[in-house]
Chains A and B, each alone.
Chain A
């Protein structure tokens, strides 16, 4: 922009070339990275999807891998589960994060401590948090269901009951709300006080202030939380896999592989199917088909969100 302003007609082309070089220099790490770690693997994924490939033998099989997708019971189960998480878990996380952030703006004394407490679970490595969580809510050994039973609440057998597995994972995700909360809290604190004062003079009530001032000001950040929330859910893997292994009675035996997504496929997410096919069954060609499906779905969400938020709110 500055270059365009300062450059006059005669040296324009030279200035433009210099500008181009500068842009190129600044962008170069990403241009390389984009090519090496996005464009190439994407093309290779398409290529390998037409082969049977176990990393040792490469056999062309035409559309066999694509045809199998329609017969694959795991893939469809995983798509359903992942959609469930996108539809339920993402909005719940953003709403809960916003509620916590709002709450924190209202606490004067001890606000810092509370913020740290709410943020803390997010820092626990997911593997550790999941193992701990499964243990804590396990009806047999964990204390939570026991305590609830004492006050007359009968809690389900979270991670062993197909109906309650995803709600259990959602609960776990709400416990680790820290990332969403801290981002939204920063946004809330960023809303200029003068705006509230002005609104107060106009006699706006709390809800009106929230609707007319808070929400518009933080909407780019809300959008950001939703975007990242969807990303995280499409690649939701660790918690689902660790929870399934930790809750399954016979998962400890070395050498035995078990059907993914215990119990009854309820925790099977799409990336897990891909991992299972690609890195446990070593149907790498078919895993590429799954990767392409994941890519299409991810692109679909990207496009929806790009449109919904006018190419991310701010524009040139």
Chain B
């Protein structure tokens, strides 16, 4: 699907066939060169900061302050130092981050899918209101409710842990509900109806027929949630203490703790980025499959 491009769909223009062909080919080559040149230039700009990060990560600490581009000597051990510094505190942050990201994603899926399904499939009074309210909660910046929420979690003695960020995911995530609902609406009702005719209950129809069709959307929502948790700074900044710091909060203090040892900070940064990149490259196929699926269905 990604291979099909607009360029190949170009329409034949008017004019004599022979002239048309040469002119078209000339324009095509020009067009090809232009798009590829732009794309490559952009790609270099997108990668440059990462390359600088990497080059800084392997420099010696003094060299990072000189504004030099290329390391004079390569200090691969910086990665090891970043990992093991402070009794391997980065690994501790990693475990916390994983706890947060994995549980939040799992809880979100369990709670949000039925809600999205109901909003997409069922007709009931207040359905529109419910959907508008979902959008409203989605629009709502987390800071709006943070003060009372903080007070509540403090009463349960759960501040200082990641639970105030994980537990709410058991009660549906507005963004995910919205996105799933938008996708589920596009699946023709006949599929679920057919399943019900075969004697399935509504829940079974959802699980067996509709959800497999919605797999790309579910995967996308799960990935978004996972990345959201992985990258979240505001939540852990408010709720956690050093024991329960995630990588995001830890990294922000890493810099202060290591003063301007930019090489170590950049090494730690790259190590933080790495797992997310692995997940992305593994999950990329899910994305593409999702895109293809929508194409087939449309």
Chain A–chain B contact at Cβ < 8 A:
yes
**B252→A131 contact, CB < 8 A:** yes
Bound complex: CA A189 to CA B182 (Å): 17
> In chain A between 215 and 234, which residues have their CB closer than 8 angstroms to a CB of chain B?
220, 224, 227-228, 230-231, 234
Q: Complex formed: what's the CA distance from A114 to B42 in Å? A: 9
Task: Tell me which of A4, A136, A292, A301 contacts B139 (CB under 8 A).
Answer: A301
A126 adjacent to B290 (CB under 8 Å): no
> For chain B residues 112-157, which have a beta carbon within 8 Å of chain A?
112, 114-115, 117-119, 121-124, 127-128, 130-152, 154
Give the chain B neighbours of A126 by CB distance below 8 A.
231, 233, 248
Complex CA gap A116/B259 in Å reads 33
In the complex the two chains form, is B233's CB within 8 Å of A123's CB?
Answer: no
Q: A41-B149, A182-B287 are in contact. Are A1 and B295 (CB under 8 A)?
A: no
**A224 to B46, Cβ gap below 8 A?**
no
Taken together as a complex, chains A and B put the C-alpha atoms of A262 and B247 apart, in Å, by 24
Judge if B215 is at the interface, Cβ distance under 8 Å: no
Report the tally of A-B residue pairs with Cβ distances under 8 A.
308
B26 lies within 8 A of chain A by Cβ: no
Say yes or no for B73: interface residue by CB 8 A criterion: no
Query: Is B30 an interface position by the 8 A CB rule?
Result: no
Counting CB contacts under 8 A, is B39 at the interface? yes
A133 near B39: Cβ-Cβ < 8 Å: no
CB-CB contacts below 8 Å: B1-39 with A? 1-7, 9-11, 35-36, 38-39
| A103 in complex: contacting residue of B39, B119, B233, B234, CB < 8 Å | B39
Instruction: Flag if B35 contacts A107 (CB, 8 Å).
Output: yes
Roughly how many angstroms separate A135 CA and B265 CA in the complex, as a whole number?
11
Chain A residues lying within 8 Å of B79, measured Cβ to Cβ, are none
**Chain B residues with CB under 8 A of A41:** 144-145, 147-149, 152
A207 at the A/B interface (Cβ < 8 Å)? no
Main secondary structure of the interface of A (DSSP, over half): helix
- The reply to whether A37 and B145 contact each other, CB–CB distance below 8 Å, is yes
CB distance from B49 to the nearest CB of A (A): 5
- Are A136 and B53 in contact, CB atoms less than 8 angstroms apart? yes
Least CB distance, A173 to chain B, in whole angstroms: 13
Task: Known contacts A1-B122, A27-B130, A37-B145; decide if A118 and B247 are in contact (CB<8 Å).
Answer: no
Is A60 positioned at the interface, with any CB of B under 8 Å from its CB? no
Q: In the complex where A127-B252, A186-B291, A192-B298 touch, is A23 in contact with B122 (Cβ < 8 A)?
A: yes
Chain A residue nearest in CB terms to B205: A2
A197 contacts B143, CB within 8 Å? no
**Is A62 an interface residue, CB under 8 A from the partner?**
no
A40 at the interface (CB under 8 A from B): yes
Which residues in B have their C-beta under 8 angstroms from that of A36? 168, 171
Residues of B with C-beta under 8 A to A299: 136, 139
B13 nearest CB neighbor, chain A only: A203
Contact of B67 with A30 in the complex, beta carbons under 8 Å: no
Instruction: Assess whether A143 is in contact with B67, with CB atoms less than 8 Å apart.
Output: yes
Shortest 3 CB-CB contacts between residues of A and residues of B: A33-B171, A200-B11, A235-B141
Q: Known pairs A124-B276, A141-B262, A252-B259. 18 more at Cβ < 8 A?
A: A1-B122, A29-B115, A117-B47, A120-B47, A120-B277, A124-B273, A125-B272, A131-B269, A143-B69, A146-B67, A175-B49, A190-B295, A227-B139, A230-B139, A252-B256, A271-B141, A298-B144, A299-B136
Residues of A at the B interface (CB closer than 8 Å) are: 1-2, 4, 19-20, 22-23, 25-27, 29-30, 32-34, 36-38, 40-42, 44-45, 48, 55, 100, 103-108, 111-112, 114-121, 123-128, 131-133, 135-136, 140-144, 146-147, 175, 182, 185-186, 189-190, 192-193, 196-197, 199-201, 203-204, 206, 220, 224, 227-228, 230-231, 234-235, 237-238, 242, 245-246, 252, 254, 271, 274-275, 278-279, 284, 287-288, 291-292, 294-295, 298-299, 301-302, 306, 311-312, 314, 316
